[in-house]
Amino acid sequence: MFTVYKKKPFTEAHEAIIIGLFDKPVKFEEKLEELDEAFSGELTELVKSGDISARIEQTAKIHTFGKVPSKRLYFIGLGKEKNTSFEEIRESFGTIFKKVQKDKIEEVAVYLDSFTTESIDALDAAHALSEAFALSTYQFENYKQKPNEPEKQIQRIMVYLEDVEVEDIKAALTVGYSFGKGTNSARTLVNTPGNLLTASDLAEYAKELGEKYLFEVEILEKEDMLKLGMGAMLAVNQGSTEPPKMIVLKYQGKEEWTDVIGLVGKGITFDTGGYSLKTKAGIVGMKTDMGGAAAVLGAMEVIGELKPEQNVVAVIPSTDNMISGEALKPDDVIISMSGKTIEVLNTDAEGRLVLADAVTYAKHHGANYLVDVATLTGGVITALGTETTGAITNNEEWFEQVLEASFEAGEPIWRLPLFEKDKQRVRNSKIADLNNSPGSEGHAIMGGAFIGEFAENTPWVHLDIAGTATTKKDTNLGPSGATGVMVRTLALIVERFES
**DSSP assigned state of 365:** T
Q: Which residues pair with 434 in a beta bridge?
A: 342
**Which of the four pLDDT bands, split at 50, 70 and 90, describes residue 81?**
confident
CATH entry 3.40.50.300 includes domain 193-495: no
Share of the chain above pLDDT 90, in %: 91
Residue 478 near residue 135 (C-beta atoms within 8 A): yes
Residue 336 near residue 344 (C-beta atoms within 8 A): no
* Pairing outcome for strands 413-415 and 434-435: unpaired
Catalytically active residues are: 278, 352
Q: How wide is the angle at C-alpha 258 spanned by C-alphas 255 and 263, nearest 5°?
A: 110
Q: How wide is the angle at C-alpha 493 spanned by C-alphas 489 and 494, nearest 5°?
A: 120
Q: Which residues pair with 264 in a beta bridge?
A: 315, 372
Report the C-alpha gap between 202 and 494 in whole angstroms: 23
pLDDT at 26: 54
Please write the tens of the pLDDT for every residue from 250-278.
Answer: 999 999 999 999 999 999 999 999 999 99
Q: Which CATH architecture has domain 2-164?
A: 3-Layer(aba) Sandwich (3.40)
User: H or E stretch including 304?
Assistant: helix 291-306
With a CB cutoff of 8 Å and minimum separation 6, the contacts of 478 are 94, 135, 136, 138, 187, 471, 484
User: pTM of whole model > 0.85?
Assistant: yes
pLDDT at 187: 98
381 has pLDDT over 90:
yes
Residue 492 near residue 405 (C-beta atoms within 8 A): yes
Report the C-alpha gap between 17 and 37 in whole angstroms: 17
pLDDT at 25: 56
Phi-psi region of 384 (alpha: psi -120 to 50; beta: other; left: phi over 0): alpha
Report the C-alpha gap between 287 and 269 in whole angstroms: 6
Residue 277 near residue 333 (C-beta atoms within 8 A): no
| Integer angstrom CA distances of residue 267 from 26, 101, 176 | 53, 33, 26
Q: Quickly list DSSP for 151-218.
A: PP---EEEEEESSS-HHHHHHHHHHHHHHHHHHHHHHHHHHS-GGGS-HHHHHHHHHHHHHHHT-EEE
pLDDT at 147: 76
Closest-CA residue to 320 (of 241, 229, 209, 427)? 241
27 has pLDDT over 60:
no
CATH 3.40.630.10 range(s) for the chain read 193-495
Residue 158 near residue 144 (C-beta atoms within 8 A): no
Q: What is the mean pLDDT of residues 377-397?
A: 98
**Average of per-residue pLDDT values in the chain:** 96
Which is more confident, 19 or 499?
19
Share of the chain above pLDDT 70, in %: 98
Q: What is the mean pLDDT of residues 194-204?
A: 98
Residue 299 near residue 463 (C-beta atoms within 8 A): no
Report the C-alpha gap between 365 and 231 in whole angstroms: 18
Q: What is the CA radius of gyration of the chain?
A: 25
pLDDT at 145: 82
Residue 57 near residue 42 (C-beta atoms within 8 A): no
Report the C-alpha gap between 495 and 352 in whole angstroms: 27
Residue 445 near residue 416 (C-beta atoms within 8 A): yes
29 has pLDDT over 90:
no
Q: Say how many CA atoms lie within 13 Å of 278 toward its Cβ.
A: 18
Residue 260 near residue 313 (C-beta atoms within 8 A): yes
With a CB cutoff of 8 Å and minimum separation 6, the contacts of 43 are 28, 32, 35, 36, 52, 62
